[in-house]
């Protein structure tokens, strides 16, 4: 009798553990305000650096991102224009060696790496562009 009860409980535990919400976990890691600190790529291999706060991306749990881009030099790789966009994080094998894709509005970054320390977004093309974001420092008001 114990063996019969054990098997359904084991199967239930396996099914619960196998329900992996990578998408939700990755999207949750994005929540908050990030600073775009660099843009790189193109066929020339250029690299453009930006001061913290010059370009910010604020990801919200409702899958929108507010981008504030104060860079006016259009020749620099400063990323997307200011605005509010819908974003999605998904698993993908579109780009070899990359398992995560991030879509922001009409732009698709076929190779994304998301951690608590940084977000690396690249379009996945050899002569394409990529961007680096770091979390904005949290300012604690004085008491």
User: pLDDT of 46-100, one tens digit each?
Assistant: 999 999 999 999 999 999 999 999 999 999 999 999 999 999 999 987 777 788 9
| The two three-digit tokens of residue 5, written as one number | 């009860």
pLDDT at 126: 80
User: pLDDT of 2-54, one tens digit each?
Assistant: 444 333 333 333 333 333 344 444 454 799 999 999 999 998 899 999 999 99
- DSSP strands (E only) in the chain: 32-41, 46-49, 55-59, 64-69, 83-91, 100-104, 107-109, 111-114, 119-122, 129-135
Q: Structure pTM?
A: 0.76
pLDDT at 75: 92
| The two three-digit tokens of residue 91, written as one number | 């698993």
pLDDT at 140: 61
| Closest-CA residue to 62 (of 92, 91, 34, 30) | 30
pLDDT over threshold 80, residue 142: no
What is the average pLDDT across 112-135?
Answer: 92
């Amino acid at each position: 009798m114990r063996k019969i009860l054990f098997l359904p409980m084991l199967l239930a535990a396996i099914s619960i553990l196998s329900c992996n919400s990578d998408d939700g976990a990755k999207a949750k890691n994005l929540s908050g305000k990030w600073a775009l600190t660099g843009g790189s790529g193109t066929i020339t291999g250029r690299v453009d650096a930006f001061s913290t706060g010059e370009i910010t991306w604020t990801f919200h749990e409702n899958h929108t991102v507010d981008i504030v881009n104060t860079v006016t030099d259009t020749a620099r790789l400063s990323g997307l224009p200011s605005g509010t966009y819908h974003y999605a994080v998904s698993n993908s094998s579109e780009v070899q060696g990359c398992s995560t894709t991030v879509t922001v509005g009409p732009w698709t970054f076929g190779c994304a790496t998301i951690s608590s320390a940084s977000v690396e977004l690249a379009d996945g093309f050899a002569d394409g562009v990529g961007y680096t974001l770091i979390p904005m420092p949290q300012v604690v008001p004085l008491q």
